[in-house]
Amino acid sequence: MRKLIVYTIICVSCCSAGCINAQVNSKKPAADALYTYRTASSGGTGKFYMGREIAYVMGASNASWLDRNSRPTEENTRRAIDKIELPATAVVADIGAGTGYYTFKLAPKVPKGKVYAVEIQDEMIRIVKERANKMNVANVEVIKGGFTSPNLPENSVDLAIMVDVYHEFEYPVEMLQAIRKSLKKDGKILLIEYKGEDAAVAIRPLHKTTVAQLSKELGANGFKLDYNGQFMPIQHFLLFKKTE
């Protein structure tokens, strides 16, 4: 319990002190074709998609939290990496790569393929590039993403992975459609998100999501749940494939 309390404090600090200043423009209408806008809650943007308020993005000033020594134990990240099955030639997109925590664990799994480390924050991009050079990893390519697109080549990606990222997309519909275009015919999306169904998961509510909510949102954008892995202690491991 003590560990969970400390974990909550860290998350609150990350989301209050280091969030990107990407607030929803107050001049936007009360609703549009895709999103609705209401008074923002703590840590929220005031922008809603399918009833879910979009959270602020954690800023680069808290990059060290992504690489904390306790993360493997808290999240069982080794198990998650082991469960990601890829051929050696696969192309993976780590969208919202942050410091490259997952990027550089996925790169050895695809020695004849590639990992796109997609990031929107310049400081995170710098960190990933420096690590790639220091580790002499040749199959990692850094891409500067945008708010509505990860800027990936079309029909090029076997697996797009987002670790605690999707709930922060300012434009989830546009991003999902752009990701869908980047996927190959049999390409899939993997979402690793904190469990919104579990009150014991000591993460701020806006940074947790449920299987039902994620299935609804991705279902509306051309994906269906293909695998629901519940082997991680505080996160979902959800694999989505394209619908016809």
Report yes or no on 28 lying in a domain. no
DSSP 103-151: HHHHGGG-TTSEEEEEES-HHHHHHHHHHHHHHT-SSEEEEE--SS---
Longest pairwise C-alpha distance within the chain: 49
Mean pLDDT of the chain: 89
Kindly tell me if the per-residue pLDDT of 128 is higher than 90.
Answer: yes
With 50 as the cut, is the pLDDT of residue 216 above it?
yes
Give the model confidence (pLDDT) of 51-66 as tens digits. 999 999 877 667 777 8
Cβ atoms within 10 Å, residue 195:
19
d(CA 233, CA 239): 17
Interval 216-235 mean pLDDT: 97
- Residues in CB range of 125: below 8 A, 6 or more apart: 119, 142, 144
- Which among 237, 189, 181 is positioned nearest to 209, based on CA atoms? 237
| CATH number for the domain harbouring residue 123 | 3.40.50.150
> What is the tens place of the pLDDT at every residue in 102-111?
999 999 999 9
- The amino acid occupying position 156 is S
119 part of a folded domain: yes
Q: What is the mean pLDDT of residues 204-225?
A: 97
Cβ(173)–Cβ(158) below 8 Å: no
pLDDT at 192 over 60: yes
Q: What is the mean pLDDT of residues 187-199?
A: 98
Domain residues for the domain of 151 are 72-242
At residue 22 the predicted structure's pLDDT band, cuts being 50, 70 and 90, is: very low
Tell me what pLDDT residue 244 has. Answer: 76
pLDDT exceeds 70 at position 101:
yes
Q: Is residue 76 a part of any domain in this protein?
A: yes
Number of structural domains in the chain: 1
Residue 207 in domain:
yes
148, part of any domain: yes
Establish if 114 belongs to a structural domain. Answer: yes
**Cα dihedral sign for 70, 205, 39, 28?**
positive
Residue 85's DSSP bridge partners are none
27 part of a folded domain = no
Q: Is residue 22 part of a domain?
A: no
pLDDT per residue as tens digits for the range 78-90 = 999 999 999 999 9
